[in-house]
Amino acid sequence: LLLGVSGTSIEKNVTLDSATRIELSCRLDNKYSHLKSLQVIWKRGNETIRHINKTENSWSIQLRILDNSNLGSYSCTLKGEEEISAMFHLQVPTIEGKEKPIVSYEGDTAVMICKSSGYTPIAWTWYMTNGSEQIALNDSLLADKYAINKISANVTHLKILKLTKEDDGVYWCEAAFELGKSKGKLMLKVLSFMVPLKPFLAIVAEAVILVTVVFLYEIYSKKKEKHA
Amino acid sequence: MKKTIPLCNRLFWGGFSSMEQRGGERKEEELEAPAAGKSPGAEAGGWAWGVVFHFFLVNVLVMGMLKTFGIFFVAFQEEVGGSSEQVSWIGSIMSSLRFLGAPLVAVACRRLGERPTSIMGAGLVGGGCLLSTQATSVPFLCVSMGLLLGMGFACLYQAAAVMTAKRCRTRLAFSNAIARSGMGLTFLIAPFTQFLIDFYGWQGTLLIFGGIMLNLVPSSMLLRPIHTQPPQRSSGKNQDPGALTAKEDSEPLAGCLDETARGETQLCPAQDLPTTEGVTIPHGRDVSGPVNTLDSEGFEKPPVESCWPETAAEAKRSSKSLPPPAKENSQPLLDFSPLKDPVFGIFTWSFLFSHLAYFVPTFHLVARARTLGISSMDASYLVSVAGVTETVSQLLSGWVADQNWTKKYHYHVAYLLLGGVTNLLCPLATTFPLLMTYAVAFAVFCGGFMALVLPVLVDLVGVQKLHSYLGFAAFFAGIAAVGGPPLAGWLYDYTQTYVCSFLFAGACALISPLSFFFEPSAQKWKLKKANLNRGPTLG
- pLDDT tens, position by position, B360-369: 777 677 777 7
Q: Which helix (H) or strand (E) covers residue B422, if one does? A: helix B408-425
d(CA B38, CA B243): 20
Closest Cα in chain A to B79? A111
Question: Are residues A148 and A126 both part of a single domain?
Answer: yes
Q: Is A50 on the interface with B (CB under 8 A)?
A: no
Of B330, B304, B332, B341, nearest in space to B530 by CA: B341
| Secondary-structure percent of chain B, ordered helix, strand, coil, rounded to 5 | 75, 0, 25
Q: Helix crossing, B466-495 with B432-461: angle to 10°?
A: 150
Q: Which of A111, A218, A224 sits opposite B79 (nearest CB)?
A: A111
CA distances from residue A214 to A219, B27, B220 in whole angstroms, order as listed: 9, 16, 10
Lowest-pLDDT range, A3-12, B62-71, B107-116, B480-489? A3-12
Indicate whether A203 belongs to any domain: no
A144 shares its domain with A170 = yes
Q: Which of A43, A61, A91 is the last residue of a domain?
A: A91
Q: What is the pLDDT of residues B496-506, one digit of tens each?
A: 777 777 888 88
Specify whether A25 is located in the same domain as A87.
yes
**Is A111 close to B214, i.e. CB distance below 8 A?**
no
Question: How far is residue B197's CA from residue A100's CA, in Å, rounded to a whole number?
Answer: 11
CB contact residues (below 8 A), chain B span 191-210, against chain A: 197-201, 203-205, 207-208, 210
* In the predicted structure, residue B309 carries a pLDDT above the cut 60: no
Establish if A211 belongs to a structural domain: no
How far CA A70 is from CA of A65, B70, B379, in Å, comes to 5, 46, 46
Is A182 found in the same domain as A109? yes
DSSP state of A63: E
Q: Output the domain CATH number for residue A181.
A: 2.60.40.10
pLDDT at A123 over 80: yes
Calpha distance A134→B208 (Å, rounded): 36
Q: A91, A112, A139 — which closes off a domain?
A: A91
Q: What is the mean pLDDT of residues B64-78?
A: 76
Residues A71 and A119 reside in one and the same domain: no
| Inter-axis angle of helices B499-511 and B408-425, nearest 10 | 160
Average pLDDT over residues A112-133: 81
Query: What angle separates helix B114-132 from helix B149-167, to the nearest 10 degrees?
Result: 150
Classify strands A20-28 and A2-6 as parallel, antiparallel or unpaired: parallel
Give B224 to chain A, closest Cα distance, Å. 9
Give B334-358 pLDDT, tens digit per residue.
Answer: 666 667 777 777 788 888 888 777 7
Assigned domain for A135 exists: yes
Give tens-digit pLDDT for B135-191: 777 777 777 778 888 899 888 888 888 888 887 777 788 888 888 888 777 777 777
Lowest mean pLDDT of A90-94, A184-188, B122-126, name the range. Answer: A90-94
The span from the CA of B505 to the CA of B72, in Å, is 29
Residues A123 and A82 in one domain: no
Identify the weakest region by mean pLDDT among B22-31, B43-52, B200-209, B418-427.
Answer: B22-31
A84 is in which domain, residue-wise? 9-91
Q: What is the pLDDT of residue B272?
A: 35
Chain A nearest-CA distance from B229, in A, is 12
Question: Chain-wide mean pLDDT for chain B?
Answer: 68
Tell me the chain A residues in contact with residue B206 when contact means C-beta distances shorter than 8 Å.
none
- Chain B positions in Cβ-Cβ contact with residue A201 (cut-off 8 Å): 211
How confident is the model over A18-35, as a mean pLDDT?
Answer: 72
| Cα–Cα distance list, B11 to B4, B43, B254 (Å) | 13, 7, 19
| Secondary structure (3-state) at B429 | coil
pLDDT in tens, B247-288: 333 333 333 333 333 333 333 333 333 333 333 333 333 333
Residue B256, amino acid = C
User: Would the pLDDT of B199 be above 60?
Assistant: yes
Let me know if residue A210 belongs to a domain: no
Domains of chain A: total:
2
A81 is a domain residue: yes
User: Of A41, A75, A91, at which residue does a domain stop?
Assistant: A91
Query: CB of B167 within 8 A of CB of B48?
Result: yes
Range scoring the smallest mean pLDDT among B301-315, B433-447, B481-495: B301-315
CA proximity to B267, closest of B111, B51, B40: B40
0.90 surpassed by pTM? no
Same domain, residue pair A70 and A116: no
A207 located within any domain: no
Q: What band does B81 get if pLDDT is binned at 50, 70 and 90?
A: low
Spatial CB neighbours of B7, under 8 Å, sequence gap ≥ 6:
B169, B170, B171, B237, B240, B242, B243
Buried residues in B328-357 as b, exposed as e (16+ CB within 10 A): eeebeeebebbeebbbbbbbbbbbbbbbbb
Question: How wide is the angle at C-alpha B292 spanned by C-alphas B291 and B293, nearest 5°?
Answer: 105
pLDDT at B275: 36
Q: Which of B57, B215, B268, B271 to mutate to test the interface with A (most CBs of A within 10 A)?
A: B215
Q: Is A111 exposed, middle or buried (0-12, 13-18, 19+ CB in 10 A)?
A: middle
CB atoms A196 and B221 under 8 Å? no
Task: Nearest by CB to A199, from B208, B214, B217: name it.
Answer: B208
Residue B447 has pLDDT above 70, yes or no: yes
pLDDT tens column, A175-220: 888 888 888 888 888 888 888 888 888 888 988 898 898 888 888 8
- Predicted confidence at residue B312, as pLDDT, reads 37
- Give the up-direction half-sphere exposure of residue B188: CA atoms within 13 A in the CB hemisphere: 7
Answer yes or no: do A74 and A101 share one domain.
Answer: no
